[in-house]
Amino acid sequence: MKLSLKQIAEAVKGEIYNNDESLIIEGVSTDTRKSIENKLFIPIKGPNFDGHLFLHMAIEKRASCLLSEIRINTQLPYILVEDSNKAIMDLAAYYRKMFNIPIVAVTGSAGKTSTKDLTAEVLSEKYKVLKTDGNLNNEVGLPLMVFQFEEDIEIAVLEMGMNSFGEIHNLSRIATPSVALITNIGIAHIGNLGGTREGILKAKSEVFDFMPKGGRAILNMDDDMLSKLNICGISNYYFSRKDKNAYVYAKNIEHKGIDGINAVFVHGDIEFPVYIPVAGEHMVDNALGAAAAGFLFGLSSEEIARGIAKFKPSKNRMDIIRLEKYTIINDVYNANPVSVMSVLKILEMAEGRKVAVLGDMKELGDDGERLHYDLGRDMIGMNIDVAVFIGALSKASYEGALKEMKAKGCKKDLYYFESRDDFMNEGLDILSKGDTVLVKASRGMEFEKLIEKLTRC
């Protein structure tokens, strides 16, 4: 990144103070806890924080320039803007236009990160690829990824997340993707999106708002809403586990327990074996989406299969931890009803006693209690021996499971704890040697602390 103060001010429609015409900015930071020397510091605002409180720290840590919504008593160059949150997006959109590279935008209700990682792994067999790092998939994170663009990058694979309408619209404005890959339309964040899947589809479809005509959409044909999606000027390429007419489809799917999946992928007249190193029917969908992207960008079936086989999950996502006492399926990054049911089906395939430790699923709106109840009820019909429910919302899951168990006259071990700490302090003796333990909850439950505790036991 090499931008002058004049270029930055032009991009963010700001006013320069303490101008230094020789100054060239070579990086952007929003966090004074990290190295920001010789970078532009942008103070981000949120419901519970304001980066302007750390402007003095940025000056002390030798930032080369600042953005600010307020005037500052400093000799350091800074640019006065009306809205620093909008400014970081405006600057990223400006910087993105300096690069003529294709961008694959990955979104959907579940499976975004795995699909993003699989797609990047596949495309890396032929191209130099930049992919979204960690959870940098929002209106702050995606700009930070764009600022990492360099001249030798040939393709960028960027994940786009959202909680409400308008967010993916803003991300699309920045990225102007040439390909959009949508995994599925579930019910994550449904409380913020009109309470319907139609609302979620509308929000996800914002990814096309700034896509040039002639752009391409990779869509899950097995999703009832995506199979009907039609965007003017955009060509659809479908993947499927069921329909042989799809651009890429899968057959001969063979599950290998929690160790992964073998399958045969079919693209036109081409059939080729694929090994997916992570378990779960949904991982076939994610790999199919990545394969479709590979074919669109001219990869061979051998390159696609090789890329899929190299896939490794991101931190806290389907991370299999094999300990002397038990095996942990660490999937604590986030949770919604669709993703929880997907990973429960993986747990069913595990060896030994199967234990599900589940925490609250957040951002489900007015339907939250009902969806938790339904999850608990539906688990009783699954091949799971022990269920531990943790959190205020998860009490409904416990009640749904308990009522269904009594109605069916079956026997399972059910437990409820009000908090993660209560379980950590009082409930770990529920676990036995040889168990396979699934741990999953929404990010706000901070179940990574539970994972740390379990790995020390």
Structure tokens of 362? Answer: 């957040």
Residue 348 maps to which CATH number? 3.90.190.20
Flag whether the pTM goes above 0.75. Answer: yes
Write out the residue range of the structural domain in which residue 423 sits: 319-456
Instruction: For residues 441 and 331, give the distance between their C-alpha atoms in angstroms, rounded to a whole number.
Output: 8
The answer to whether 260 and 246 are in contact (CB under 8 A) is no
Residue 183 maps to which CATH number? 3.40.1190.10
Asked which of 14, 49, 82 is the last residue of a domain, the reply is 82
Other beta carbons within 10 angstroms of residue 383's beta carbon come to 11
Which residues pair with residue 155 across a beta bridge?
A: 129
Residue 41 maps to which CATH number? 3.40.1390.10
pLDDT at position 134: 85
Please, which residues have CB within 8 angstroms of residue 268's CB and are 6 or more apart in sequence? none
Instruction: For residues 229 and 216, give the distance between their C-alpha atoms in angstroms, rounded to a whole number.
Output: 12
Residues 341 and 219 in one domain: no
Which is nearest to 250 in space by CA: 274, 269, 223, 228? 274
Is 49 a domain residue?
yes
Is 34 a domain residue?
yes
Residues 32 and 135 in one domain: no
Residues 209 and 290 in one domain: yes
> How many distinct structural domains can be found in the chain?
3
Is 285 a domain residue?
yes
Instruction: For residues 336 and 363, give the distance between their C-alpha atoms in angstroms, rounded to a whole number.
Output: 9
Residues 336 and 371 in one domain: yes
Is 301 a domain residue?
yes
Residues 77 and 104 in one domain: no
Is 59 a domain residue?
yes
Residues 300 and 368 in one domain: no
Which is nearest to 185 in space by CA: 281, 108, 286? 108
Residues 384 and 365 in one domain: yes
Asked which of 309, 334, 367 is the last residue of a domain, the reply is 309
Is 94 a domain residue?
no
Residues 301 and 326 in one domain: no
Residues 78 and 42 in one domain: yes
**Does the CA dihedral 232-234-238-244 come out positive or negative?**
positive
Residues 75 and 164 in one domain: no
The tokens 């990574």 sit on which residue? 448
Residues 298 and 242 in one domain: yes
pLDDT at position 376: 97
Is 374 a domain residue?
yes
pLDDT at position 273: 98
Residues 156 and 264 in one domain: yes
Other beta carbons within 10 angstroms of residue 288's beta carbon come to 31
List the pLDDT tens digit at each of the 457 positions of the chain: 889 999 999 999 999 999 999 999 999 999 999 999 989 999 999 988 999 999 999 999 999 999 999 999 999 999 999 999 999 999 999 999 999 999 999 999 988 999 999 999 999 999 999 999 988 999 999 999 999 999 999 999 999 999 889 999 999 999 999 999 999 998 776 767 777 899 999 999 999 999 998 999 999 999 999 999 999 999 999 999 999 999 999 999 999 888 899 999 999 999 999 999 998 888 999 999 999 999 999 999 999 999 999 998 877 888 899 999 999 999 998 898 988 998 999 999 898 999 999 999 998 888 899 999 999 999 999 999 999 999 999 999 999 999 999 999 988 999 999 999 999 999 999 999 999 999 999 999 999 999 999 998 7
Q: Which helix (H) or strand (E) holds 156?
A: strand 155-159
pLDDT at position 257: 84
Is 177 a domain residue?
yes
Asked which of 82, 115, 148 is the last residue of a domain, the reply is 82
